[in-house]
Amino acid sequence: MATPAITNQAFAPVLFWDIDGTLLTTDRAGMVAWNQAVKELTGHDFDLKTAIRTPGFTDHQIADRTYAFLGIQPDTGDIARLVGRYEELLPGSLPLRNGRVLDNVREILETLQRERPDVRSYLLTGNTRAGAAAKLTHYDLLHFFPEGAFCIDTGARAGIAKRALEMARLAGPVHHEAVVVIGDTPHDIECANAIGAKTIAVATGGYSLDELQPLGPWRAFEVLPEPGSFLDLLDSLMGAGAAEPESDARA
């Protein structure tokens, strides 16, 4: 029997969250771990900050580009070893820098958890599962995300987005108008487009609003809005209050 609750659940937003530059910044602690892993495995001194513009690339893609920068032709084993060593070093490097959860993120996630349990939040990230877990554990965000789609190879971020959408569909109803990728780079917008999702772009990472706006995100912000405004955004997803019960008037 179709009850109003079930109808609303069918239209409930599904949010796919990027990590670096969107949920948090590690203040380059990840780079500290990366540079050390490169040194251990190749013997080369390496500075990821100056070598590669990393935002939006996946961990495996960064490994591939790192080897290219060093003039090394890697095989898949080399890439897996570099990423694996980085994953091992990352938990120890995170406390070395002054990273933080970005503005309004924790408040939005807490508000969603408290007031909108129908909204499902997942990770959609170029981090590996272990790298993502290390960061979200350190910044106490892991409990907001029951699952996610992660980097597993050097394939395009769009492939991660497709896996994320499949995962969300297995977990519950997904309405195509209510799928949103929240991210800080052109790569996030591209991967949202690849699955027909909307993008909330936020200029708290490696790209400015002027760089993100021309790519046509659904919405773009300097920082994520405070929770009330974020909920209003979600309510506007379906257009003209299509998913709203009539009694749910907002002041």
Residues 113-132: x where in contact with Mg ion by CB under 5 A, - otherwise, as a string: --------------------
H helices of 172-226, in order, are 186-194, 209-212
Nearer to Mg ion, 155 or 241 (CB): 155
Nearer to Mg ion, 12 or 128 (CB): 128
Nearer to Mg ion, 12 or 136 (CB): 136
Segment lying near Mg ion (by CB under 5 A), choices 168-176, 178-186, 207-215, 242-250: 178-186
Tell me the residue nearest to Mg ion as measured from the CB. Answer: 21
184 makes contact with Mg ion (CB under 5 A): yes
Q: How is residue 43 written in tokens?
A: 């013997």
CA-based torsion, 104, 105, 108, 114: positive or negative? negative
Cα Rg of the chain (Å, integer): 19
18 makes contact with Mg ion (CB under 5 A): yes
Segment lying near Mg ion (by CB under 5 A), choices 20-28, 130-138, 156-164, 224-232: 20-28
59 makes contact with Mg ion (CB under 5 A): no
Q: Which helix (H) or strand (E) holds 159?
A: helix 157-171
Q: How is residue 40 written in tokens?
A: 């251990």
Nearer to Mg ion, 173 or 206 (CB): 206
Q: How is residue 238 written in tokens?
A: 């379906």
Q: Which of residues 186-215 bind Mg ion (CB under 5 A)?
A: 205
Nearer to Mg ion, 41 or 145 (CB): 145
| Residues contacting Mg ion: total by CB under 5 A | 5
Burial class (CB in 10 A: 0-12, 13-18, 19+), 176: exposed
Smallest distance from Mg ion to CB 185, Å: 5
List the one residue from 13, 21, 99, 148 that touches Mg ion (CB under 5 A). 21
∠ CA 166-195-188, nearest 5°, is 110
Q: Tell me the C-alpha distance between 101 and 242, whole Å.
A: 33
Nearer to Mg ion, 186 or 205 (CB): 205
Please identify which residue in the block is written with the tokens 């970005």: 102
Q: Residue 240 contacts by C-beta under 8 Å, 6 or more apart in sequence?
A: none
Q: How is residue 74 written in tokens?
A: 């890697």
3-state secondary structure of 73: coil
List the one residue from 20, 59, 87, 190 that touches Mg ion (CB under 5 A). 20
- Binding footprint of Mg ion on the chain (CB under 5 A): 18, 20-21, 184, 205
